[in-house]
Structure 1
Amino acid sequence: MQATAPDWPYDALVFTPDDVDLSRSPLAGQIDAETYVLGAFNPGMTRLANGNLLLMVRVAEALRTPITGGTIRAIRWDAGRYVLDAWPLALVDTSDPRKFMMRSAGWKVMALTSLSWLLPVELDADGREVVSVHYDRAIAPATSYQCYGVEDARISRVDGRYLMTTCSVSPERHSTTLYTSDDALDWTLEGIVLDHQNKDMLIFEGKPQGRYWAQTRPLGDLYFAYPPDSEWRAGPSINLATSPDVLHWKPYDSPGIRPHAATVATARMGGGAPPVLTDRGWLTLWHGVEPSGVVGVYRTYWTLLDADDPSVTVATSDTPLLEPAPALTEPLKEQMYLDNVVFTTGIADGGEHWVVASGEADLACRITHVPKSAIR
């Protein structure tokens, strides 16, 4: 598999599990078990006032020995402390290294093999070098609806204020939560803004029609079929919502970006980087998943949306902008637990190119300089 187009001027891993100091983790000294970094990946990204780039890295911290005494254990936050829960192996399916599924529950019930928290990593202005790692500003579970972790930050700047959406995971719900900040380092948790299993919420970096807009991706186990001759395929799609205040969201009546019936490469899809305004409309990077094995093959695609009505597609491409890059993760092959995944989560203007942040193989943070001429 070819990693990327041959003319990318820069494409590298900038932060990996080996770069995380677990002695400074929010979990350090709180559980009687050794942990390790399963992945440091899927970084939200924004530009700081000093011109540097900030990655909000998802650190998935896992037990070194999760299976012991006929049980598999999971880490859970509980009222200000971290505890271990043990599940009998006979009750679970462990085929996916990221989670284990409960057998005979009557519906899909799972637990995670790691607990995620967010680590602010400051890069230089072009995203090539780490300037500082802000352990003192890490974001960890702080309430019961985050007891299994805080995942996959996406950061937008609107009217001078930073807005960060995250997935908060718990038995209560799998919800989207909002943090706000004046400087992208000190964050305030505003609470839940989208309810159960609404993943990949991306707030537009601007206000079309004077409102906040966002891409959303509701999930479910049931979808209704399009007609047999439709150009669209039923399944998860990228929807839209609007808000007067960034806290209360109404789903938009017109559909957003949908999987196309002509290809299985985007049979499942979801949002990637928060949409940014260009002279041709809103540029949005999103992921398409081709069914393959347990996880599938994740690639990054692009679409341009109308500047005034983001439900209208101006241009799009079914050729991947980014492919998984096995050459980048070769030095980390002993730490890999899956492959064929690039999951784009941030974009920033770099002048003649876009600085694109992605998670590579659910393992590390990848920065790619994509020439603006690649978006045609």
Structure 2
Amino acid sequence: MADDYLIFRPDDVDLTRSPLRRGIAAPTFVLGAFNPGLTRLSNGNLLLMVRVAEALREPVDGDCVRAIRWTAQGYVLDRHPLPGVEMGDPRQFALRDRNPRLLGLTSLSWLLPVEISADARAIVKIHYDKAIEPSASYMDYGVEDARISLVGGSWWMTVCGVSAERHCTAMYHSVNGMDYNLLGIVLDHQNKDMLLFEGKVAGKFMALTRPLGKVYFAYPQDSEWFGGPAINMAQSPDGLHWKPLDTPGIRARKGTTSTQRIGGGSQPVLTPEGWLMIYHGVEKQGAVGVYRSFWALLDKDDPSKILRLEDGEPLLEANPVLTADIAHQMYLPTPVVFTTGLADGGDHYIVASGEADLACRITHIPKERFA
């Protein structure tokens, strides 16, 4: 088998076992099974925490567009009159004449644990009984993009909670890597890419963050940096209460393709040279942008010190060959690879990514590539 392949696709999801069956009778399909958190379990196997975006086959019903929403009593369909919305994106719609912009989703995301072999080449078991679905009002439009880190002998998982209340980061915890308990919100602002370091620094938890906003300020013309969404860092005494570091993290740099935004990808892992991390950079193109993966090395004692920033040649790019047999399911107009996890494979790293917001990609990268 090649060292770059899709391990899990939309058609691998059995929707008869979806949590949405509790309330939604309307036909649905898997828009994407992608962006998997990755960790190694105590039995040696690997776990992919796959984001399943389950969408309505017919989002428009009569004179309304429908959105799926979780409630404590079950899942419901909200209706929004068509004259009041814009529908230029198959994943969402926007309410007209609203400032700030208000979105609705035609899909709802939940998390599916998929256990794979130690070498990441075969599916061992799909754990529908341990699926993670929305369970609080702050994630009633979905739970997205899990990132898992093994710290101090237990597993910590961040997710993005989506709701009209807020767009937040929530934390889950597990003592076995498979069964996760929700601990609540840890970042009460829009933050898409919070990743815990796999290990503490000076006795404290450390994390990458990526807060978003509507207003950014320009650097001086002679600066090497672009303003905009970037990777920051924060530390915590307990994994729940976080203080941002004063120093900036990884920013978009002039002369590179990553000029639209930067965000975390894999959980930082400690190597003899420092903390190794893979992150994504976005080049402006169309409504979505082109997503590529790059890498950086941070100082082991002070991760705010960036030892290497490899933001020129991409580590990973979208590969249309991988999705050729499911090209009929593609819906994004631009190439996207979105790295979401990393595991040690001996003489190489096993890297998990979302390919085209559609499927789960595994790439085996020799460690010498990071030398």
TM-score under structure 1 normalisation?
0.96
Out of 274, 283, 296, the position equivalent to 1:281 is 274
Partner residue, 1:236: 229
Instruction: Map Cα deviations across residues 262-299 of structure 1 (whole Å, 9 max, x no partner).
Output: 22434311000110001110011000000011101000
The Cα shift of 1:78 comes to 1.2
Matched-pair contact (CA < 8 Å) for 1:217–1:238: yes
Q: Say yes or no: does 1:331 pair with 2:321.
A: no
Partner residue, 1:293: 286
Instruction: Map Cα deviations across residues 47-105 of structure 1 (whole Å, 9 max, x no partner).
Output: 00010000000000000110121211110001230000111222222112221111101
Partner residue, 1:308: 301
Identity %: 62
Matched-pair contact (CA < 8 Å) for 1:37–1:59: yes
Describe how 1:94-105 pairs up with structure 2 within 5 A.
94-105=87-98
Q: Say yes or no: does 1:195 pair with 2:188.
A: yes
Secondary structure at the counterpart of residue 307 of structure 1: coil
Mapped to 1, the partners of 2:254 and 2:83 lie a distance apart of 40
The Cα shift of 1:235 comes to 0.3
Mapped to 1, the partners of 2:3 and 2:317 lie a distance apart of 14
Alpha-carbon RMSD across the aligned residues, in angstroms, is 1.1
Out of 21, 30, 37, the position equivalent to 1:44 is 37
Kindly tell me the number of residue pairs found equivalent between the two proteins. Answer: 369
Partner residue, 1:374: 369
Out of 308, 314, 324, the position equivalent to 1:320 is 314
Instruction: Map Cα deviations across residues 188-223 of structure 1 (whole Å, 9 max, x no partner).
Output: 100000012012000000111111000000000101
Secondary structure at the counterpart of residue 246 of structure 2: coil
Matched-pair contact (CA < 8 Å) for 1:80–1:142: no
More moved, 277-286 vs 95-104: 95-104
Partner residue, 2:102: 109
Secondary structure at the counterpart of residue 177 of structure 2: coil
Out of 348, 352, 370, the position equivalent to 1:353 is 348
Secondary structure at the counterpart of residue 146 of structure 2: strand
Secondary structure at the counterpart of residue 365 of structure 1: strand
Secondary structure at the counterpart of residue 94 of structure 1: strand
Partner residue, 1:30: 23
Partner residue, 2:249: 256
Secondary structure at the counterpart of residue 219 of structure 2: coil
* Structure 2 portions without partners, runs of 5+: none
Matched-pair contact (CA < 8 Å) for 2:281–2:292: yes
Mapped to 2, the partners of 1:47 and 1:270 lie a distance apart of 23
Mapped to 2, the partners of 1:91 and 1:374 lie a distance apart of 51
Mapped to 1, the partners of 2:362 and 2:122 lie a distance apart of 10
Matched-pair contact (CA < 8 Å) for 1:260–1:267: no
Mapped to 2, the partners of 1:196 and 1:80 lie a distance apart of 27
Out of 178, 181, 185, the position equivalent to 2:174 is 181
The Cα shift of 1:9 comes to 5.7
The Cα shift of 1:356 comes to 0.1
Mapped to 1, the partners of 2:257 and 2:94 lie a distance apart of 26
What amino acid sits opposite 2:365 in the alignment?
V
More moved, 323-332 vs 258-267: 258-267
What amino acid sits opposite 1:321 in the alignment?
L
Secondary structure at the counterpart of residue 149 of structure 2: strand
Mapped to 2, the partners of 1:148 and 1:31 lie a distance apart of 14
Q: Which runs of 4+ in 1 moved over 4 A?
A: none
Matched-pair contact (CA < 8 Å) for 2:257–2:281: no
What amino acid sits opposite 1:324 in the alignment?
A
What amino acid sits opposite 1:342 in the alignment?
V
Mapped to 2, the partners of 1:97 and 1:266 lie a distance apart of 25
Partner residue, 1:343: 338
Mapped to 2, the partners of 1:96 and 1:142 lie a distance apart of 27
Matched-pair contact (CA < 8 Å) for 1:39–1:362: yes
Matched-pair contact (CA < 8 Å) for 2:160–2:167: yes
Matched-pair contact (CA < 8 Å) for 1:299–1:320: yes
Secondary structure at the counterpart of residue 20 of structure 2: coil
Partner residue, 2:151: 158
TM-score under structure 2 normalisation?
0.98
